[in-house]
Amino acid sequence: MRKTLLICRRELAALFGGPLAYGLAAVFVLLTGYFFYSDLVFFVLFGGASLPAGLWRFVFLDYRLVALLVLPLLSMRLLAEERKLGTLELLWTYPVRDREVLAGKFLAALLVYLALLALTVSGPIVLYVLHPFAPGPVLAGYVGLVLLGTAFLACGTAASAVTENQVVAAMLTYGVLVFSWFVSWNEAAVGETVAPLLLQLSLFDRFYGFAQGVIDSRDVVYLVALTTLFLFLAARALGTRTWRGVA
Amino acid sequence: MSRPRLLLGVQIATVVAILACVVALAALHPHRLDLTPERRFTLSAHTREVLARLHDDVRITAFYSSQEGVIRREMADLLALYQEAQPHIAVRLLDLDRSPGLSQRLGVSSYNTAVVEAGERRERLDLVTEETLTATLLDVAGTPPVVTYFVVGHGERDPRDGDERRGASEAARALAAEGFQVRALEGAAEIPADAGLLVVAGATRELPRAETDTLAAYLGRGGRALVLCDPGTPASVAGLLERFGIELALDVVVDEQARLFGTDGLSARVAYLNQALIPTPLDAQALLPVAQTLRLADPAPAGVRTDYLAMTGETAWADVDRRALHDGHAVFRPDHDRRGPLPVAALARIDGSDGREGRLAALGDADFVSNLHANVLGNRDLLLAVAGLVARGDALTGARPPAPPGGTFSPLMLTVGEARAILWGGVVTPSALLATAALWMARRRRLA
């Protein structure tokens, strides 16, 4: 655990020592803020009487898209950059296990993501001060964003573990995530027996309940299971060096 | 394939299989935490009560458009709640365009329509909401619709009238959602043969003798009626009730201690229901604006059994001279006025001439079914519980789903200043600060 935290701290220092984290945070906050404000204006003018259905649902569905855009950029460098610079091999010479390296880096990315999410709370807080509202649906939305973003980051970590090129890692992550979104888009293109299955597998459909203010144990378990699978794949990708002769 | 690759494949397959089992197990035992303030994704107590009464298999076939994913998802979510709550319900969700044969057989030609089938009975819903679906289940699965006539023509509340103060269209809508087919009846000189329930909601003018005789005869034949009487009810209506052992006390209920903020102390809260007749208490107390009390004749007329149905709380008292109505304020006189709890509703069960039991419920208020008050606290539930008791012999008392928010007016009224505060405080300032930090870090790195 100590080694994991050490690697996490080192990763955070690397992230915040350069402009990347701040740039991503600025884009993240600007986009989420823009969506929040425009959804709010739309709700005030046309949105009907229910805050969860008329405002929060759209806000969190939009935040989800911003997470899709930003998180692969955050995760792409986790292992790929180290591999490209050769520092990963150096890291392997230390008495530290693969899973500790992986956990440390993933934890660092997750902490950055949580910090990004914390920055988005400013809009709802200002609104709450002006017009108090029931916080339950907002809480559910953020729980969903944490779980969905964790799965995104795990996917990005796995992609970053299989290549030394950051752009390839980011594109691979975008490919997997966007496919898991589009897979349930055109139900008319698949059979009626396949469509429900695809809906069950779609990452984004699993988020829909959270956006509406409902935390469903099935969605929580699915997102946690997917995160576990991606992290396992990342660990296996790192582990293959022993029989591929990488190190 | 080399051994390490094979081993890797086996490991991945094993983990995928384990995780799939975990996801499948979670799907079999779902738990849902509904954090919406109006509990939009939780079935109401009323729906659960109706579902608990289903003993036969029911099949719901819903048709959607694959191009309208949001509506399909909402419909699927709602149907899944019903399926989870009642194993007798089977749900089919079909793309209308891909099911021309079945849709034609079921008489469906538009998207987002559902057909509910139980045995030989079949009902179509053009709008799939909890309210409509539960009403259809109630209808299809054993509880036939009750043709309900609101007698009008003597100043009564009219179910066709949408006026906020005078009309009773909200009450009619609530009744319709529970399987009551609501119609208006101009005068009670002749009562249609299909009448399952007659409602006289607040007559302000005398009913001709012929009409009260017809009503009495209808009840004597096993008819069912609900008579709502504001203070000042015409003597002809009071006389009709007296024939069946229910007397209007001609007073007014005052409740200063339990009055709600903003009301004048003349609203009577229904604190107790007769549990022998309505076993489950209502989730919220009903509020009767300007009510009078009732008395049961002792002894009851021959062939009639009477019971009190609802009482006010202890803090209410009966202003026997109705001074509160005339002077606007009255003080309790211990030797003159009556202390609560006070009866405000009663039920008479009449031995019908052909063996069918007639039922007459009387309430000491009619305002509570007006559009202004029908959705206040437990008023709608009280009306539906009493109507169910009179017409069907049992009362469904669970709280109904909240009425869907109507119109496009938002409850959030932002001023221009507030909108600016949100834009600058929540959006522009934080992102500008972060962008500045990013530029500063980039510059520092370049200089380093």
- Average predicted confidence (pLDDT) for chain A: 85
**B264 min Cα distance to partner chain A (Å):** 29
pLDDT at position A188 is 55
Q: Would you call A127 an interface residue with chain B, using a CB distance cutoff of 8 Å?
A: yes
Does the pLDDT of residue B340 top 90, yes or no?
A: no
**Which chain B residue shows the shortest CA-CA distance from A33?**
B427
Q: B36 and A127 in contact by Cβ < 8 A? A: no
Query: What confidence tier does A60 reach under pLDDT thresholds 50, 70, 90?
Result: very high
Residue B84 maps to which CATH number? 3.40.30.10
Question: Per the domain annotation, does B9 fall within a domain?
Answer: no
Greatest mean pLDDT among B31-35, B292-296, B375-379, B404-408 lies in B292-296
Comparison of pLDDT for A174 and A200, the residue scoring more: A174
What H or E segment, with its residue span, contains residue B413? none
Residues B128 and B168 in one domain: no
| Length in residues, chain B | 448
Q: Taking CB atoms and an 8 Å cutoff, what residues of chain B touch A245?
A: none
Does the pLDDT of residue B445 top 80, yes or no?
A: no
Tens of pLDDT along A100-156?
888 999 999 999 999 999 989 888 888 888 888 889 999 999 999 999 999 999 999
Mean pLDDT, residues A183-202 taken together: 67
Residues B69 and B216 in one domain: no
**B445 min Cα distance to partner chain A (Å):** 7
Which backbone phi and psi does B98 adopt, to 5 degrees?
-100, 0
Give the position of tokens 């992986």.
A102
- Average predicted confidence (pLDDT) for chain B: 85
Nearest CB among B15, B32, B426 relative to A126 is that of: B426
Nearest CB among B66, B406, B431 relative to A187 is that of: B66
- Cα gap B207→A129, rounded to integer Å: 57
Q: Would you call A188 an interface residue with chain B, using a CB distance cutoff of 8 Å?
A: yes
Share of chain B above pLDDT 90, in %: 32
Question: Per the domain annotation, does B35 fall within a domain?
Answer: no
Work out the number of other CB atoms within 10 angstroms of the CB of residue B206.
15
Nearest CB among B4, B38, B422 relative to A126 is that of: B422
pLDDT at position B242 is 95
List the one residue out of B54, B50, B76 whose CA is nearest residue B63. B76
**Mutant choice from B8, B12, B18, B36 vs A, greatest count of A C-beta within 10 A:** B36
Residues B245 and B362 in one domain: yes
pLDDT at position B406 is 44
Residues B374 and B334 in one domain: yes
Query: What confidence tier does B446 reach under pLDDT thresholds 50, 70, 90?
Result: confident
Query: What confidence tier does A69 reach under pLDDT thresholds 50, 70, 90?
Result: very high
Q: Would you call A117 an interface residue with chain B, using a CB distance cutoff of 8 Å?
A: no
**Which chain B residue shows the shortest CA-CA distance from A214?**
B34
Nearest CB among B15, B37, B422 relative to A134 is that of: B37
pLDDT at position B259 is 59
Measured CA distances, B22 to A228, B184, B243 (Å):
12, 57, 68
pLDDT at position A2 is 81
The pair of structure tokens assigned to A200 is 């069950």
**What's the N-to-C CA distance of chain A in angstroms?**
24
Share of chain B above pLDDT 70, in %: 92
Work out the number of other CB atoms within 10 angstroms of the CB of residue B126.
10
Question: Per the domain annotation, does B433 fall within a domain?
Answer: no
Question: Per the domain annotation, does B375 fall within a domain?
Answer: yes
Residues B274 and B190 in one domain: yes
Number of domains in chain B: 2
Residues B128 and B175 in one domain: no
Question: Per the domain annotation, does B223 fall within a domain?
Answer: yes
Last residue within a domain, chosen from B80, B110, B140: B140
Work out the number of other CB atoms within 10 angstroms of the CB of residue B329.
10
pLDDT at position B397 is 57
Tens of pLDDT along B21-54?
999 898 888 888 888 887 778 888 888 888 887 8
Q: Taking CB atoms and an 8 Å cutoff, what residues of chain B touch A53?
A: 40
Q: Would you call A23 an interface residue with chain B, using a CB distance cutoff of 8 Å?
A: yes
What ipTM does this complex have? 0.82
Residues 6+ apart with CB under 8 A from B87: none
pLDDT at position B411 is 63
**What's the N-to-C CA distance of chain B in angstroms?**
51
Residues B164 and B264 in one domain: yes
**B324 min Cα distance to partner chain A (Å):** 38
Q: Confirm whether pTM is higher than 0.90.
A: no
Q: Taking CB atoms and an 8 Å cutoff, what residues of chain B touch A45?
A: 410
Residue B295 maps to which CATH number? 3.40.50
Last residue within a domain, chosen from B392, B408, B440: B392
Residues B235 and B374 in one domain: yes
Residues B126 and B153 in one domain: no
Residues B51 and B200 in one domain: no
Does the pLDDT of residue A243 top 70, yes or no?
A: no
Tens of pLDDT along B404-441?
544 444 566 677 778 888 888 878 888 888 888 888 88
What H or E segment, with its residue span, contains residue B121? strand B121-125
Question: Per the domain annotation, does B267 fall within a domain?
Answer: yes
Question: Per the domain annotation, does B399 fall within a domain?
Answer: no
Domain that holds residue B86: 45-140
Question: Per the domain annotation, does B409 fall within a domain?
Answer: no
The pair of structure tokens assigned to A4 is 């994991």
Tens of pLDDT along B58-109?
899 999 887 777 788 788 888 988 988 888 898 888 888 888 888 888 888 8
Does the pLDDT of residue B360 top 90, yes or no?
A: yes
Does the pLDDT of residue B197 top 60, yes or no?
A: yes
Last residue within a domain, chosen from B140, B156, B177: B140
Provide the number of CB pairs (under 8 Å) joining chain A to chain B: 192
Query: What confidence tier does B223 reach under pLDDT thresholds 50, 70, 90?
Result: very high
Residues B77 and B191 in one domain: no
Q: Taking CB atoms and an 8 Å cutoff, what residues of chain A touch B41?
A: 209, 212-214
Lowest-confidence range among A192-201, B28-37, B81-90, B208-217? Answer: A192-201
Comparison of pLDDT for B201 and B55, the residue scoring more: B201
Tens of pLDDT along A77-114?
888 877 777 777 777 777 778 788 889 999 999 999 99
**A47 min Cα distance to partner chain B (Å):** 6
Q: What is the DSSP string of A37-71?
A: HHHHHHHHHH--S-HIIIIIHHHHHHHHHHHHHHH
pLDDT at position B443 is 82
Residues B187 and B331 in one domain: yes
Q: A232 and B15 in contact by Cβ < 8 A? A: yes
Mean pLDDT, residues B304-326 taken together: 87
pLDDT at position B240 is 94
pLDDT at position B407 is 44
**A121 min Cα distance to partner chain B (Å):** 8
**B374 min Cα distance to partner chain A (Å):** 19
